[in-house]
Amino acid sequence: MNTKPSASGLAAVACFLAPSILLAQAQLPLAPWAAAGPYPVERVNRDPYPNFYSIFLAPWQTVSGDEGGRVDLGAVFPRENPGGDLVIARRVFRAEADGPVEMELGYEGEVDVFFNRRKVFTGRDPACDQLPSDAPALPSCLARISLPARAGLNEIFLMAASRSGAWGFRVATSEVLPGKRTDHDKVEEVWMTPDTFLTSESVLKDPIRDLFYVTSFDNQYTTRTEPSGYISTLSGDGRILEHRWLDGLNAPTGMDIRNDTLWVCERADLLAIDLASRRIVGRWPIPDVVFPNDLVVDQEGAVYVSDTRTGSWPDSRIYRFRDGAFEVWADEGIDGANGLWIHDGSLVVGNSGDGTLKRIDLATRRMETIVSLGSGIIDGIRVDENGNYLVSFWEGQIFRVSPDGEVVELLDALPDQWNTADFEYLPEEGILLVPTFLDNRVRAVRIRR
């Protein structure tokens, strides 16, 4: 059997000819799974983890295994593509502490395994994809993978493909892997705007004027001949006050206010707007930037900007703008940085590349991991009145993270197909104002106490 672990070395992979060896060490089948497909296998790049649009737009459904945990994909997904079909499947579990989880994988067809976005196994032996469709239920190709789980949430993600014959997989582990904690009943929708924004990306409160700013990113901005983004103003009860309060911006994203100046990320620049006059008073090109995303301003007026660097996440970085100049303030350990927030003397960073929420001391730049959130684009970050972190995945989830690292999912909007981007939080009312990106709205949701 020809199996190939990823070059990253994240997983120790061993294959055995005798199924009993594996089965004796991993007796606990993992099911059900969220799965989507089928897709034409020749059109899917199976080397990287899928991009966030692919995850968000996938037609997810729940699939269960048989008594032994085997998922028969051929029984769930019709074969549609002459060149072969591919299904994606995912399962999220929580771990109480960092440490390896031993996983047994059985499969028919071809399979690629990702763990927290990193590829850890590839199995593409042609012999595994030539079995008759009425083959015995026990998967014929077997491998063992050691998963480097982290405290918090973790995701196992499979790409299962077949060009002919039987098609399925079975995952079992040596220990029980509990699912994520949820408390969806705590959240209720209060109001929503009409879908009149142009890819609503960020919401920010103006405490002096008692209104909210909304950036319209326009996710088609690369096709426009002129800058098409803008900022709107919104009342606390969801009325759009001025739809185009400031127009002609280059795909604006994150915002923050300091000394009545609104700071905004554009695609290559840092923008300063005087709120009293509604005038742009500064625009500074960010050196060697790829995708400036979110920003936050500290008490001394320094502006921190996350450069997500889409397409090259390991090179992601955080800039600091101070006294008219930029510096790369942090890059070691920064991977797909997006959401930023300042709390208790630290910069809190949504590190989407490795799925962790991190904290960097503003004085010493010492970095530590708060918790793992698995796989997702960590977009919005706030802190509630009890010291809990409120964190959104762009794909549609909002989590509450306690100071001791307990993660609870409060909202999952993915089934309803709206995003949860860079939100604002109103602690007095327990309300989140959520820009819904592709849904082109702002939705207010209350966390009931």
Q: State the chain's maximal CA–CA distance in angstroms.
A: 75
Return the pLDDT at 336: 93
Are residues 190 and 75 part of one domain?
no
Are residues 193 and 156 part of one domain?
no
Are residues 131 and 52 part of one domain?
yes
Q: Kindly state the tokens that stand for 182.
A: 């949820």
What CATH number has the domain bearing residue 232? Answer: 2.120.10.30
Q: What Cα–Cα distance (Å) separates residue 192 from each residue in 291, 299, 319?
A: 29, 33, 34
C-alpha to C-alpha distance for 77 and 37, rounded to whole angstroms = 7
Are residues 194 and 331 part of one domain?
yes
Q: How many CA atoms lie within 13 A of 82 on its CB side?
A: 0
Mark out the alpha helices in 164-297 (DSSP H runs). Answer: none
Return the pLDDT at 132: 61
C-beta neighbour count of 416 within 10 angstroms: 9
What CATH number has the domain bearing residue 171? Answer: 2.60.120
C-alpha to C-alpha distance for 325 and 327, rounded to whole angstroms = 7
If one counts the domains in the chain, the total is 2
Range of the domain at 269: 184-447
Q: Give yes or no for a contact between 71 and 90, defined as CB atoms under 8 angstroms apart.
A: no
Are residues 234 and 371 part of one domain?
yes
Are residues 189 and 104 part of one domain?
no
Are residues 403 and 318 part of one domain?
yes
C-beta neighbour count of 75 within 10 angstroms: 12
Return the pLDDT at 11: 38
Return the pLDDT at 430: 97
Last residue of a domain, one of 148, 179, 210: 179
Q: Give yes or no for a contact between 219 and 435, defined as CB atoms under 8 angstroms apart.
A: no
Q: How many CA atoms lie within 13 A of 264 on its CB side?
A: 33
Are residues 240 and 147 part of one domain?
no
Q: What Cα–Cα distance (Å) separates residue 79 from each residue in 83, 131, 375?
A: 10, 15, 28
Q: Which of 193, 213, 185 is nearest to 448 (CA)?
A: 185
Are residues 191 and 66 part of one domain?
no
Specify which residues 446 forms β-bridges with.
188, 431
C-alpha to C-alpha distance for 288 and 105, rounded to whole angstroms = 43
Are residues 173 and 302 part of one domain?
no
Beta strands in 364-436 (DSSP E): 367-373, 378-383, 389-393, 397-401, 407-412, 424-426, 431-435
Specify which residues 333 forms β-bridges with.
none
Last residue of a domain, one of 155, 179, 203: 179
Return the pLDDT at 163: 86
Q: Which of 400, 428, 410 is nearest to 185 (CA)?
A: 410
Q: What is the pLDDT along the chain (449 residues), one digit of tens a residue?
A: 333 344 333 333 333 333 444 444 457 999 999 999 999 999 999 999 999 999 999 999 999 988 889 999 999 998 999 999 999 999 999 999 999 999 999 999 999 999 999 999 999 988 887 766 555 555 579 999 999 999 999 999 999 999 877 899 999 998 999 999 999 999 999 999 999 999 999 999 999 999 999 999 999 999 999 999 999 999 999 999 999 999 999 999 999 999 999 999 999 999 999 999 999 999 999 999 999 999 999 999 999 999 998 766 778 999 999 999 999 999 999 999 999 999 999 999 999 999 999 999 999 999 999 999 999 999 999 999 999 999 999 999 999 999 989 999 999 999 999 999 999 999 999 999 999 999 999 999 999 98
Are residues 418 and 347 part of one domain?
yes
Provide the 8-state DSSP code for 43: G
Last residue of a domain, one of 139, 160, 179: 179
Are residues 217 and 160 part of one domain?
no
